[in-house]
C-alpha cells in the first residue's frame, strides 16, 4: 500500500473539511482508496496533516500534481505550498 502524506496550513478548518469531503470522488477517480487519516495539530489548529491510501505510486504521484488537486486546495483555503511525501507501508 502506498500513502500520500500532505501537510498544509488552512485559513478555516470548517471550510477546508467541507472541500476535502467534497473532493472524495476526484481522489478515488485518481486511484485513492477510502483509507484516510486526517490530523490536526493541537498547538496550531490551522495545520492539517493527511495520510491517504493509494492503489499505486504512479497514481499517487500523478494525483499530487493534478489540476484537480491544485484547484481543490485553493478552494479549501490552503495557505502556502503543501508538504507532499510518498510513503510505503512496511509492517
Model confidence pLDDT, tens digit, residues 35-62: 999 999 999 999 999 999 999 999 999 9
Task: Please report, for the chain, the start and end positions of each structural domain, with discontinuous segments joined by +.
Answer: 2-88
Q: pTM higher than 0.85 for the full model? A: yes
| Residue 19 pLDDT > 80 | yes
Q: What CA–CA distance (Å, rounded) separates 89 from 70? A: 26
Does residue 40 contact residue 48 with C-beta atoms inside 8 Å?
Answer: yes
Provide the CA 66 distance to its chain's centre, in angstroms. 12
Please state the φ and ψ torsions of residue 10, each to the nearest 5 degrees.
-130, 155
CATH number for the segment(s) 2-88: 3.30.70.100
Q: Which three cell numbers stand for residue 10?
A: 488552512
Reported confidence tier of residue 72, pLDDT bands at 50, 70, 90:
very high
Strand, helix or coil at 12?
A: coil
What is the Cα gyration radius of the chain? 12
Q: What is the pLDDT of residues 3-12, one digit of tens each?
A: 999 999 999 9
Give pLDDT, residue 36: 95
Amino acid at each position: 500500500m502506498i500513502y500520500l502524506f500532505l501537510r498544509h496550513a488552512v485559513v478555516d478548518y470548517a471550510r477546508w473539511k467541507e472541500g476535502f469531503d467534497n473532493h472524495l470522488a476526484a481522489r478515488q477517480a485518481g486511484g485513492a482508496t477510502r483509507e484516510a487519516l486526517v490530523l490536526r495539530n493541537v498547538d496550531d489548529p490551522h495545520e492539517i496533516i493527511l495520510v491517504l491510501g493509494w492503489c499505486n505510486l504512479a497514481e499517487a504521484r500523478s494525483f499530487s500534481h493534478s489540476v484537480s488537486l491544485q484547484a481543490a486546495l485553493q478552494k479549501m483555503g490552503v495557505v502556502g505550498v503543501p508538504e507532499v511525501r510518498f510513503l510505503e507501508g512496511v509492517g
